[in-house]
């Protein structure tokens, strides 16, 4: 559970916790009250001796149960509202999400390429032969699929599915992936960490732009 979730939980359930704490306190006073006020004859002490703690505890526990029902019902209503809102948004963005799916997959392919590149860098650091590493790039059971992901950038551009506000981020991402590929195929492995870090930033930027674009389209369609 995250810190935010814990804070929200405490905020929602504090009345229940407070009543339960009061009930526990009453039980404690009821069970040990006589020994605590032994020899005392004040009105307060006499009140503690005659305290009907069983009935008071039952009332407090009933109150806690009532609060629990209220809180649970409220949370169920809020959850249902969030689900309904999400379903509405998904419906309004269904066509947009289909068009942007290829760009999302391109980002996912870029993440895989980044991880593989860093693995190749580690292999090179271990003095593995460079020609053996290059063979992995083109082998059927190696990472030749990464090259297909990189080449798919042209297909995505030709399909005209890239919205104008996203073209700059997409082009930067594709360019960095190509630079990293050339770095590997030319055995310039010392440049891999720098380009991999740049690729990670470009992927994050592309996904940020995708989120903002969806928000803009959703706002236009909602209002």
Q: pLDDT tens for residues 209-222?
A: 999 999 999 888 87
Max mean pLDDT range (41-45, 90-94, 106-110, 135-139): 106-110
**Short-list 217, 192, 34, 45, CA closest to 113:** 192
- CA 1/CA 3 separation, integer angstroms: 7
Confidence of residue 168 (pLDDT cuts 50, 70, 90): very high
| pLDDT (0 to 100) of residue 169 | 95
- CA 31/CA 57 separation, integer angstroms: 12
CB–CB of 119/189 below 8 Å? no
What would the pLDDT profile of 119-137 be if each residue is shown by its tens digit? Answer: 878 877 656 556 666 666 6
């Amino acid at each position: 559970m995250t810190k935010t979730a814990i804070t929200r939980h405490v905020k929602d359930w504090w009345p229940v916790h407070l009543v339960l704490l009061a009930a526990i306190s009453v039980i404690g006073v009821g069970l040990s009250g006589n020994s605590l006020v032994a020899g005392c004859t004040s009105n307060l002490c006499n009140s503690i001796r005659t305290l009907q703690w069983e009935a008071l505890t039952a009332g407090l526990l009933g109150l806690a149960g009532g609060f629990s029902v209220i809180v649970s019902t409220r949370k169920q209503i809020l959850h249902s509202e969030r689900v309904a809102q999400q379903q509405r948004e998904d419906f309004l963005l269904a066509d947009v999400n289909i068009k942007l799916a290829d760009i999302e997959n391109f980002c996912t392919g870029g993440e895989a390429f980044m991880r593989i590149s860093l693995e190749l860098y580690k292999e090179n650091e271990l003095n593995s032969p460079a020609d053996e590493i290059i063979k992995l790039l083109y082998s059927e059971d190696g990472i030749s699929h990464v090259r297909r992901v990189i080449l798919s950038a042209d297909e995505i551009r030709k399909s005209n599915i890239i919205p104008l506000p996203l073209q700059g981020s997409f082009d930067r991402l594709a360019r960095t992936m190509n630079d990293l590929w050339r770095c590997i195929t030319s055995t310039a492995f010392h440049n891999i960490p720098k380009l991999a870090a740049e690729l990670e930033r470009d992927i994050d930027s592309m996904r940020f732009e995708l989120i903002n674009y969806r928000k803009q389209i959703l706002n236009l369609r909602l209002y």
